Amino acid sequence: MIPLADIRGARCERLLVRGVNWLGDAVMSTPALMRLREALPDTHISLLTPEKLADLWVGHPAVDAVLMFTEQDTAWSIGRQLRQQELDVGLVFPNSPRSALELWLARVPVRIGYAAAWRRWFLTHPLSPRPGAIRMRKRSAAEVKRLVSSDSKHPQPSTLNPQPTSASHHLHHYLHLAAALGANPAPLAPMVTISERESGLVAERFGFAPAGPDAAARFALHAGAEYGPAKRWPAERFAAAAVELHRRTGCHWILLGGPAETALASWLATEIARHALREQPEAGAVPPPAPVSNLAGRTSLRELAAALKACQVLLANDSGPMHLAAAVGTPVVVPFGSTSPELTGPGLPGDTRHRVLRAHAPCSPCFRRQCPLDLRCLTGISVEQVVQAVLEVVEPGH
């Protein structure tokens, strides 16, 4: 085995990065990939990614080749596929045993990743957690109730998660792995490359108003979150905020979401149109068009990114589209509930283009999918707070 200190001098003409499995995590891994490209300009970098995320990497400057696998592929079939690549080094971004096993089965000579149960023996260089890393555990229902009860104003320290900082952000998780190959671990803003032409084509396909000085502002809205209800600001508040923002700005709303979110998006589209068009036009006048386009379940991942780039702001929960919007350069306004913006906030930590809203409930972040109480971490964020945050983004100085 090559000592860790000597990896940087080892042969690394062909590097494979085993990518992550979720959209938000994939976006947060882009700074590490860009740092790898910066440190290894002559190395051929391949990225192994789930098929559902492959479009994310089209034209990305950090990647030379994209290798895909499907849900039907096994670790053994992936290993056989990778053996044909004649790889020198493999860098494993996920923490799962399977991702390390894939590279072991591919017989990659140098395999680097974080040490964890059931996988360290598949790695030639299992790395310890980075300095400053915080492992946030899910609070139990009993602990949540204890934290919010009147006689628990001073909970025992053993019941609390460590206090995260911007240095705890998840993008550092991947940067630390890249640093093992000589990459600079200093953070960069996540980046996904979408051309203006792609944004224009998506606007044309889905019938957005053309961009221009006289066109209505385009605001995107994504009210879902795959993780669970504890990350979702109430749908009726999204609708109320969208209606009020249309009243104040005349914006056109672009509703986004995956196949599982089509019913939610349809309800939002109906509510926004119903309230925004409440005033009846004069007799004989042509009714104004509905101020909303519903794209939920209708876009590819690439089209989703292009639609986000075509908008001035995204109002969303902590979700994959939130990360994607920030990575294509669109400001984000997001109510945070059960999760921590210090760990998974949009873009580069501290980026003032984005607005993160929190109710500062004593039990948050709990990292639970379902709230055992009353979702006070989300219901404590008002419609007016969200409206003001969006106006701050689109009308600086408001």
Strands 125-127 and 110-114: parallel
Considering the entire predicted model, what is its pTM?
0.91
| pLDDT at residue 148 greater than cutoff 80 | yes
Distance between CA atoms of residues 351 and 88, nearest Å = 37
Question: Given strand 14-18, what is the order of strands in its sheet?
Answer: 65-69, 44-50, 14-18, 89-92, 110-114, 125-127
| pLDDT at residue 157 greater than cutoff 80 | no
DSSP codes of every residue in 302-366: HHHHHHHHTSSEEEE-SSHHHHHHHHTT--EEEE--SS-HHHH-SSSTT-TTSEEE----TT---
| pLDDT at residue 190 greater than cutoff 60 | yes
Q: What is the pLDDT of residues 164-189, one digit of tens each?
A: 766 789 999 999 999 999 999 999 99
CA torsion sign, 259 to 263 to 264 to 269? positive
Closest to 378 measured CA to CA, from 389, 363, 392, 394 = 363
Q: What integer pLDDT is reported at residue 3 of this predicted model? A: 58
Q: Which of 40-49, 139-148, 284-293, 306-315 has the lowest mean pLDDT?
A: 284-293
One fold for 4-179 and 196-392: yes
Q: How many Cα atoms within 13 Å fall on the side-chain side of residue 172?
A: 18
Distance between CA atoms of residues 48 and 91, nearest Å = 10
Distance between CA atoms of residues 65 and 47, nearest Å = 6
pLDDT tier, 159 (very low <50, low <70, confident <90, very high otherwise):
very low
Using an 8 Å Cβ cutoff, are 115 and 128 in contact?
Answer: yes
Q: What integer pLDDT is reported at residue 149 of this predicted model? A: 84
What mean pLDDT is reported for the chain? 89
Residue that the structure tokens 């221009």 belong to: 212
Q: What is the pLDDT of residues 107-136, one digit of tens each?
A: 999 999 999 889 999 999 999 988 777 777
> Residue 201 corresponds to which amino acid?
L
Q: What integer pLDDT is reported at residue 9 of this predicted model? A: 58
Torsion angle, CA of 82/84/86/90, rounded to 10 degrees? 0
Phi-psi region for residue 157, left (φ > 0), alpha (ψ -120 to 50) or beta? Answer: alpha
Q: What integer pLDDT is reported at residue 5 of this predicted model? A: 56
pLDDT tier, 151 (very low <50, low <70, confident <90, very high otherwise):
very low
- Percent over 90 (pLDDT), the chain: 71
Residue that the structure tokens 């501290």 belong to: 350
Q: What integer pLDDT is reported at residue 166 of this predicted model? A: 66
- Percent over 70 (pLDDT), the chain: 88
Q: What is the pLDDT of residues 235-268, one digit of tens each?
A: 999 999 999 999 999 999 999 999 999 999 999 9
The superfamily (CATH) of domain 196-392 is: Glycogen Phosphorylase B; (3.40.50.2000)
Q: What integer pLDDT is reported at residue 283 of this predicted model? A: 52
Domain boundaries, the chain: 4-179, 196-392
DSSP codes of every residue in 41-108: TTSEEEEEEEGGGGGGGTT-TT-SEEEEE-TT--HHHHHHHHHTT--SEEEE-S--HHHHHHHHHTT-
Residue 242: count of CB within 10 angstroms of its CB: 29
- DSSP for residue 167: G
CATH code of domain 4-179: 3.40.50.2000
